[in-house]
Amino acid sequence: MSGALDVDITVRQGAFETRCTFCAQDGITALFGPSGAGKTTALRTIAGLVSGAAGVVRVGGKVLLDSAQGIDVPAEKRRVGFVFQEGRLLPHLSVAANLAYGRHGGRGPSGPALQNMAERLGIGHLLERKPRTLSGGERQRLAIGRALLSDPALLLMDEPLASLDPARRVELLPMIEMVRDEIDIPIVLVSHNVSEVARLAETLVVMDGGRTLAAGSALEIFSCFETDAVLGQGEAGALVEGEVTAIDSEFGIASVDLGGAKLELTQDGFAVGQHVRLRILASDVSLAVGDASAMAGLSIRNRLSAEIQAIAPDLAGGPYAELLLGIREGSLRARVTRKSLVEMELREGQSVTAMIKAVSVERRRSVG
């Protein structure tokens, strides 16, 4: 397998071993997990900042690390941009000089590229200022701009949003999406925020205790049981993507096609043809045996035919059971009580109707 980015690394630091394995395509890959999971270590190893790492790192076919072949490209030759959690700005230089530092430490020509980058990141009016006078969000944008000006083949971001208050976070998210959409390089982002990951990630790598629990397409990984331990039971659920096919303005309802299955959403502001990514929590999905799609006398309108693909016991040993459901394209998660499981005689392979009580919209994008 090979993609825009291939990572298979093992790092030993004292008694702690970090293993991280994934393949990513273009777009954003999220390294997700609790603190101490080894996410930052993995990121630093990809950048070449950790010595003695074993394994392979390839970016767009270029080998940066292959310990079996004795290849270990030094950090300054990897062309891997790194946005550190704390910004790491040069305190004695102006914003402009900090940006220019991305060009071979201030030696390369910058001029229009620098001005252009500053404008796009919304810091064009701050060029004369010193970093200490900037807000947290401005500092992060400066750090992103500086990394991008170094013309990287890969951009790494270590919790770029963690140090920001919610309002600044909302400002910076679209900036990261702009970078993703306008600059054609893979991005790897460390996060322990579920909604950030649900919104941004194309590829999801779930880590815990120095191990990679699951890695793959965000849509697949979000709904698999392995991620529940990291997400927490309350956050377990599925990500699905679809297209808005119709708007019923009389009732304020938008129809979304999920590869054959139809959902109705009430949120405003949709347009026909828009691509949407939706998150459906396991606790918001109820099950009915048989074909309930035509059943009258139910206020829940979103009823999808599904097949039970797997059943797992409640993680905490509580009264629930976790179910993985296959719909036409993609999957859903549902949580029912163990009592229902027994009384309804639910089993793997069975056809059911999934009734969805709530949906949150994580991403919407008009396709031009």
Binding segment (CB under 8 A) for another protein, from list 14-22, 99-107, 111-119, 271-279: 99-107
The residue among 102 and 210 lying less far from another protein, judged by its C-beta, is 102
Count of Cβ atoms closer than 10 Å to residue 349 Cβ: 8
Binding segment (CB under 8 A) for another protein, from list 17-25, 100-108, 113-121, 242-250: 100-108
Question: How many Å apart are CA 110 and CA 120, to the nearest integer?
Answer: 15
Candidates 116, 77, 76, 79; CA nearest to 99 is: 116
Site for another protein in 7-66 (CB under 8 A): 47-49
126 binds another protein (CB under 8 A): no
141 binds another protein (CB under 8 A): no
The residue among 139 and 180 lying less far from another protein, judged by its C-beta, is 139
CB of residue 365 to another protein, shortest distance in Å: 30
CB of residue 181 to another protein, shortest distance in Å: 23
Q: Which residues of 21-53 are buried (b: 16+ CB within 10 A; e: fewer)?
A: bbbbebbbbbbbbeeebbbbbbbbbbbbebeeb
174 binds another protein (CB under 8 A): no
Question: How many Å apart are CA 288 and CA 84, to the nearest integer?
Answer: 48
160 binds another protein (CB under 8 A): no
The residue among 29 and 227 lying less far from another protein, judged by its C-beta, is 29
CB of residue 53 to another protein, shortest distance in Å: 15
Spatial neighbors of 174 by CB under 8 A, at least 6 apart, are none
Binding segment (CB under 8 A) for another protein, from list 12-20, 79-87, 175-183, 344-352: 79-87
**By rule CB under 8 A, what count of residues binds another protein?**
30
The residue among 52 and 252 lying less far from another protein, judged by its C-beta, is 52
Count of Cβ atoms closer than 10 Å to residue 348 Cβ: 11
CB of residue 76 to another protein, shortest distance in Å: 5
Tokens of 286: 């109820």
Using the rule CB under 8 A, which residue among 54, 90, 288, 344 binds another protein?
Answer: 90
Question: How many Å apart are CA 365 and CA 271, to the nearest integer?
Answer: 10
CB of residue 88 to another protein, shortest distance in Å: 4
Question: How many Å apart are CA 269 and CA 329, to the nearest integer?
Answer: 25
Question: How many Å apart are CA 99 and CA 106, to the nearest integer?
Answer: 8
Question: How many Å apart are CA 93 and CA 97, to the nearest integer?
Answer: 6
Using the rule CB under 8 A, which residue among 54, 63, 104, 211 binds another protein?
Answer: 104
3-state secondary structure of 47: helix
Question: In whole angstroms, how far apart are CA 247 and each of 102, 133, 273, 279, 355?
Answer: 47, 47, 10, 20, 21
Residue 88 contacts residue 140 (beta carbons within 8 Å) = no
CB of residue 91 to another protein, shortest distance in Å: 4
347 binds another protein (CB under 8 A): no
The residue among 103 and 333 lying less far from another protein, judged by its C-beta, is 103
75 binds another protein (CB under 8 A): yes
Using the rule CB under 8 A, which residue among 51, 107, 251, 269 binds another protein?
Answer: 107
Residue 321 contacts residue 308 (beta carbons within 8 Å) = no
Binding site for another protein (CB under 8 A): 47-49, 74-82, 84, 86, 88, 90-92, 101-102, 104-107, 130-132, 146-147, 150
